[in-house]
Structure 1
Amino acid sequence: MSLGRLLRRASSKASDLLTLNSSGSSGSPSVLDGEIIYSKNNVCVHPLQVLQGLGEHHPGYLCLYMEKDELLGTTLILAWVPNSRIQRQDEEALRYITPESSPVRKAPSKRGRHAQGSGEPHQPSPVEQSSTSSLDTNLQFPENSGQLQNSKWDEQQKVFALEQICGVFRVDLGQMRSLRLFFSDEACTSGQLVVASRESQYKVFHFHHGGLDKLSEVFQQWKHCTETHLKDQQVSNEKTCMQFSIRRPKLPSSETHPEENMYKKLDVSTWLNHLNESGQVEEEYKLRKAIFFGGIDVSIRGEVWPFLLRYYSHESTSEEREALRAQKRREYSEIQQKRLSMTPEEQREFWRHVQFTVDKDVVRTDRSNQFFRGEDNPNVESMRRILLNYAVYNPTIGYSQGMSDLVAPILAEVLDESDTFWCFVGLMQNTIFVSSPRDEDMEKQLLYLRELLRLTHLRFYQHLVSLGEDGLQMLFCHRWILLCFKREFPDAEALRMWEACWAHYQTDYFHLFICVAIVVIYGDDVIEQQLATDQMLLHFGNLAMHMNGELVLRKARSLLYQFRLLPRIPCSLHDLCKLCGTGMWDSGYIPAVECTGHHPESESCPYGGTVEAPSPKSASEGKKGPKTREVFSFRK
């Protein structure tokens, strides 16, 4: 049998094979060892280490086939091979997607024939690739091959570099800890498959061109892939894939903000409608609300962001803003001159505490962004000056690693060095969204987040409590807060989250609701598998760049809506709703405050909270602390 025919074969008996019991009961079809039951080309893996100049997509061929197993009866083998290795007819790689019992293993297909395949338009199918010899594996070009051939050589070197990072992959799914499917499109055909080993190692496969729905059907038919532990005593639980779930991109209507989808992205015409003839922003509350729900079009971010970051006031006219820019440009020049006029001793001290770290950070910040790409890029030097000058402007904060991640997107959108500097000043001074690196500031953020989790996701909160002090420190979310989700989501989604937070709609702490949304949507594994602190850190770390940002935002908006419906809140969360003002309403959001009883520096609750009468059970618990209860709860 040719390799092409083998790879195209999808058994019509796949469902029967998948549901075979472990003992192979009479009447069931015989197990075909090596039977391919699913195959898909152009399934991508994204390298964790993005090499400069390389794209993030690395397509390959994925297949599932059956194999006999002593304990499970049958198991599923998942294999993935880069398209580039199939195209080169790499015999070692082809063995990974050719089962042991396949005739191809005994009689390899002949090379040099061009078979007809059914791959997707932008990439040859495995059949076409496996029978093509158009690429010379050795890539030996004549000495004067010219720029085109040199270009081919460079491209092939990039492919080889990617193959070193994302090589062939083959696992027995029966030995894995969990499988997770995350659909990212409305039709529920594209998304990610996440395979987790028992050692908390993850592999993420991206289905950009559909096919994930068919794979879902395969998994749902496989009897060893269930949402709960198997109760069959003849099969060891430790040998089964016990965790399988599907995450779909839609939230039920009961779990979405009632005003979801009512606002479109703020574009040029909509933005101009918010300005009067003098250039002042009218109905600021409505503008912030529109940005909170719809975001801002990329073409006008550079004009709107300075308002959100309080560089410009909404009441300022166009003429006043131009005068302010000129004034601030002079001030910025004075700050820079102060830095450049340091004494030799001051320069040495500044280099040790600030400049050394800044110089290291800027050269590796957002280099995949075209704005900062390439050697001797003046925009990188501009970012460097902004950070050095900020350390002089605000020596109390100085510079901390990660600030370059916050400056870079602002500079790329605002484009002007002085304007970017003052926007960054506004970001650090006027938004709670950014936590300074001081311990007390981070602890305040974590306190609020713990209390939100106690209200919204009690089971997860209880798991944190069971882990003791290490669990309650929630190390998995420190980076979320410090870097504003920039390392967790692609730039487009992360910046959309920034805008929603900067809008200060109904709360100054919307970033904490985003944190809770991530936990609610992607944290079930932590509870179901009782992950320890280090495993929890690894779990959420591996989800970075593989989560659905739009889904998280919708969930966060819903959580905020539900929070503001609560008639009573603990006094520990009093500040989450007090600073935003009433907007266009006559009254603000003032729920009754329930005292938690934890005020070591005050005999009474500073927020006027009252202590709820304890139930008989809570009274018997003595000094165990306030009641732990879930005020509202809704999941995916």
Structure 2
Amino acid sequence: MISPRPPAFPPWLCGPHMTRSTSSPSSTDAHLQFPDGSGLLQPPRWDEPQRACALEQICGVFRVDLGQMRSLRLFFSDEACTSGQLVVASRESQYKVFHFHHGGLDKLPDVLQQWKYCAETHLKDQQVADEKTCMQFSIRRPKLPSSETHPEESMYRRLDVAAWLRHLNALGQVQEEYKLRKAIFFGGIDVSIRGEVWPFLLRYYSHESTSEEREALRAQKRREYAEIQQKRLSMTPEEHRAFWRNVQFTVDKDVVRTDRSHQFFRGEGNPNVECMRRILLNYAVYNPAIGYSQGMSDLVAPILAEVLDESDTFWCFVGLMQNTIFVSSPRDEDMEKQLLYLRELLRLTHLRFYQHLVSLGEDGLQMLFCHRWLLLCFKREFPEAEALRIWEACWAHYQTDYFHLFICVAIVAIYGDDVIEQQLATDQMLLHFGNLAMHMNGELVLRKARSLLYQFRLLPRIPCSLHDLCKLCGTGMWDSGYMPAVECTGQHPGSESCPFGGTVETPSPKPSREGRKGPKTPREGFGFRR
């Protein structure tokens, strides 16, 4: 028998009662609804709002008025479903986030379930006047069914010293480069050999080079680097003033706040911080067309911490900026190209989310929530260990040069359901994904992205708007003897024919649906096949 008196709760859980949602919960989502307060159990108000605010700011008391709440979400960030976040959103799109870094979040759903049953006792004779005024409570558990994983997902382990040496011949040349890239794509690289393997991925070293040739290259590149630095130091006073105004002022501000919690850059007067500063200033001299943009320090810092040599790090960074599409510069045309591909991938793989973006108009299609993902290569979205694993998977260039876009789609697929369910506006989407930063499961996102790439390769035809997605790929993008057909989207202003040779498929007549039960539902992206 359920007691009519609800259990006591902390002050931050004081508010209106919950009623069971009419939607049926699944194994991964539990939904409740909150009355809006219009004639239904008015929530108590704080007698001293100023005092409550002071307590929150000074003592860290977590207080939320559920009467002003739009949604309450539990996001589990680990597969064991013990750690994560409690996120409370107000109707004014203000978010309060309560973090469970070391477990315990799994206990909260049980408490809320008990509270729900008490609410049912109180509201059994009352009716909710308007379903649209009800807020939601849900539990998000990160899961990826085994049926949706890449068939080779568990076949590769992390590349360690022994495995790396097996890829080298007696002269130090990399043998079977494609197999090496595949192993890194699935398993990543052990921390102990990153400094040796990363220069290959960043194309500082050629896979065909011998150990002796690489040593000769390093000596040559050190001389070149010294010449670049000397050019910077020998600027005229006028040149130096312009350089300080356009480059150095921003670099000096950025380096002192980049990865300072990392052991390699920690502490006052750390020489590694000055080393990073020189690399960025010298790069602006080496490539004045790009110069320096805020965020480049976030890309250089991990490379320097692993490669441990200023000259080698500089040339690895040059390779990163020159030879990978993974890094998107802030230039409008570069970002727009990335967003165009991403929109098309979302249309193929997550149609409901794409349709929501379309409903928001031009602002929604700009996808502001993912700009930081692309500009900083997910470094601000995941803890360092997981972010670097994502970098390595992208640098492997296995089957696509655009794997970072599949990472974006994977994040949306796993963590974007609330955007659709709550019909979040553009600014609310930005807040939603921003609050998930550093609390998403990087390994889960990687597995989902690999499965999405696998399914993309199974498509019998691809839209011509994604033709360039495989244009630059080397060996192994498509299975031998198989290439997908290119289907024209018909969106080529000023051109009578498709520049990619795409064909327009004429739809075949379909039988009448009269007499059939239920409306026709659109297909949600592509399905998973074996």
Which category describes the TM-score, using the shorter chain as reference length?
A: 0.7 to 0.9
Could you tell me which of 249, 253, 272 is aligned with 1:356?
249
Q: Residue 351 of structure 1: CA displacement?
A: 1.2
Which residue matches 1:295? 188
| CA gap 1:586/1:182 in 2 versus in 1, 3 angstroms | closer
Which residue matches 2:161? 268
Q: Residue 348 of structure 1: CA displacement?
A: 1.3
Which residue matches 2:136? 242
2:384 is equivalent to residue 410 of structure 1:
no
Could you tell me which of 90, 95, 107 is aligned with 1:197?
90
Could you tell me which of 231, 253, 272 is aligned with 1:338?
231
2:395 is equivalent to residue 502 of structure 1:
yes
1:171 and 1:235 map into 2 onto residues whose CA distance is 24
Q: Residue 231 of structure 1: CA displacement?
A: 13
2:516 is equivalent to residue 544 of structure 1:
no
Which residue matches 2:210? 317
Which residue matches 1:559? 452
Q: Residue 615 of structure 1: CA displacement?
A: 6.7
Which residue matches 2:24? none
1:533-558 deviation per Cα after TM superposition (whole angstroms, max 9, x unaligned) = 11111211121112111111111111
Which residue matches 1:154? none
1:486 and 1:223 map into 2 onto residues whose CA distance is 39
TM-score scaled by structure 2?
0.85
Q: Residue 335 of structure 1: CA displacement?
A: 0.6
| CA gap 1:460/1:498 in 2 versus in 1, 3 angstroms | same
Mapped contact 1:180–1:195 kept (Cα < 8 A): yes
| CA gap 1:169/1:616 in 2 versus in 1, 3 angstroms | farther
Q: Residue 630 of structure 1: CA displacement?
A: 4.7
1:57-78 deviation per Cα after TM superposition (whole angstroms, max 9, x unaligned) = xxxxx9857877986559899x
1:425 and 1:462 map into 2 onto residues whose CA distance is 39
Could you tell me which of 475, 479, 490 is aligned with 1:597?
490
**Aligned Cα RMSD in Å?**
3.1
Could you tell me which of 397, 404, 414 is aligned with 1:521?
414
Which residue matches 1:30? 4
Mapped contact 2:486–2:502 kept (Cα < 8 A): yes
| CA gap 1:354/1:540 in 2 versus in 1, 3 angstroms | same
List alignment gaps of at least 5 residues for structure 1.
1-12, 17-28, 40-61, 78-91, 97-162, 618-627
Mapped contact 1:285–1:584 kept (Cα < 8 A): no
1:584 and 1:444 map into 2 onto residues whose CA distance is 21
Could you tell me which of 211, 214, 221 is aligned with 2:107?
214
| CA gap 1:525/1:615 in 2 versus in 1, 3 angstroms | farther
Q: Residue 260 of structure 1: CA displacement?
A: 1.1
For residues 119-268 of structure 1, what are the structure 2 equivalents within 5 Å? 167-173=60-66, 175-220=68-113, 222-223=115-116, 233-234=127-128, 237=131, 240-248=134-142, 250-268=143-161
Could you tell me which of 183, 197, 201 is aligned with 1:308?
201
1:615 and 1:219 map into 2 onto residues whose CA distance is 52
Q: Find the residue that maps to 1:258 and give its secondary structure.
A: coil
2:500 and 2:450 map into 1 onto residues whose CA distance is 26
Q: Find the residue that maps to 1:180 and give its secondary structure.
A: strand
1:511 and 1:601 map into 2 onto residues whose CA distance is 31
Mapped contact 2:16–2:67 kept (Cα < 8 A): no
Q: Find the residue that maps to 1:170 and give its secondary structure.
A: coil
Q: Find the residue that maps to 2:64 and give its secondary structure.
A: strand
Q: Residue 612 of structure 1: CA displacement?
A: 1.4
Mapped contact 1:200–1:539 kept (Cα < 8 A): no
Q: Residue 360 of structure 1: CA displacement?
A: 1.2
Which residue matches 1:400? 293
1:500-546 deviation per Cα after TM superposition (whole angstroms, max 9, x unaligned) = 10000110000001111111111112111111111111211121112
2:526 is equivalent to residue 632 of structure 1:
yes
Q: Residue 468 of structure 1: CA displacement?
A: 1.1
Give the stretch that moved more between structures: 412-421 or 182-191: 182-191
Q: Residue 175 of structure 1: CA displacement?
A: 4.4
Q: Find the residue that maps to 1:272 and give its secondary structure.
A: helix
Mapped contact 1:577–1:589 kept (Cα < 8 A): no
Q: Find the residue that maps to 1:205 and give its secondary structure.
A: strand
Q: Find the residue that maps to 2:450 and give its secondary structure.
A: helix
Structure label with greater radius of gyration: 1
1:279 and 1:186 map into 2 onto residues whose CA distance is 40
For residues 66-77 of structure 1, what are the structure 2 equivalents within 5 Å? none
Structure with higher RCO (Cα < 8 A, 6+ apart): 2
1:286-330 deviation per Cα after TM superposition (whole angstroms, max 9, x unaligned) = 111111111111111111110000000111111111111000000
Q: Find the residue that maps to 2:264 and give its secondary structure.
A: helix
Could you tell me which of 461, 470, 485 is aligned with 2:354?
461
Mapped contact 2:470–2:477 kept (Cα < 8 A): no
2:460 and 2:105 map into 1 onto residues whose CA distance is 43
Q: Find the residue that maps to 1:203 and give its secondary structure.
A: strand
Q: Find the residue that maps to 1:314 and give its secondary structure.
A: coil
2:162 and 2:369 map into 1 onto residues whose CA distance is 41
Mapped contact 1:36–1:63 kept (Cα < 8 A): no
Mapped contact 2:84–2:99 kept (Cα < 8 A): yes
Mapped contact 2:372–2:378 kept (Cα < 8 A): yes
1:458 and 1:266 map into 2 onto residues whose CA distance is 36
| CA gap 1:406/1:511 in 2 versus in 1, 3 angstroms | same
1:310 and 1:498 map into 2 onto residues whose CA distance is 14
Q: Residue 559 of structure 1: CA displacement?
A: 0.8
Give the stretch that moved more between structures: 456-465 or 185-194: 185-194
2:74 and 2:44 map into 1 onto residues whose CA distance is 16
1:471 and 1:434 map into 2 onto residues whose CA distance is 23
Mapped contact 1:436–1:482 kept (Cα < 8 A): yes
Mapped contact 1:36–1:66 kept (Cα < 8 A): no
| CA gap 1:449/1:397 in 2 versus in 1, 3 angstroms | same
Mapped contact 2:12–2:65 kept (Cα < 8 A): no
List alignment gaps of at least 5 residues for structure 2.
18-34, 46-50, 511-521
| CA gap 1:585/1:564 in 2 versus in 1, 3 angstroms | closer
2:335 is equivalent to residue 442 of structure 1:
yes
Mapped contact 2:398–2:477 kept (Cα < 8 A): no
2:284 and 2:249 map into 1 onto residues whose CA distance is 12
2:266 is equivalent to residue 373 of structure 1:
yes
Q: Residue 347 of structure 1: CA displacement?
A: 1.1
2:446 and 2:319 map into 1 onto residues whose CA distance is 24
Q: Residue 232 of structure 1: CA displacement?
A: 7.1
The one-letter amino acid of 1:327's match is Q
For residues 456-495 of structure 1, what are the structure 2 equivalents within 5 Å? 456-495=349-388
Q: Residue 36 of structure 1: CA displacement?
A: 3.0
2:125 and 2:453 map into 1 onto residues whose CA distance is 40
Mapped contact 1:295–1:496 kept (Cα < 8 A): yes
Which residue matches 2:320? 427
Q: Residue 588 of structure 1: CA displacement?
A: 6.5
Q: Find the residue that maps to 2:394 and give its secondary structure.
A: helix
| CA gap 1:272/1:173 in 2 versus in 1, 3 angstroms | farther
User: How many residues are matched?
Assistant: 488
1:542-594 deviation per Cα after TM superposition (whole angstroms, max 9, x unaligned) = 21112111111111111111111100110001121232223498727520000
Which residue matches 1:51? none
2:481 and 2:287 map into 1 onto residues whose CA distance is 35
Which residue matches 1:578? 471
1:546 and 1:165 map into 2 onto residues whose CA distance is 25
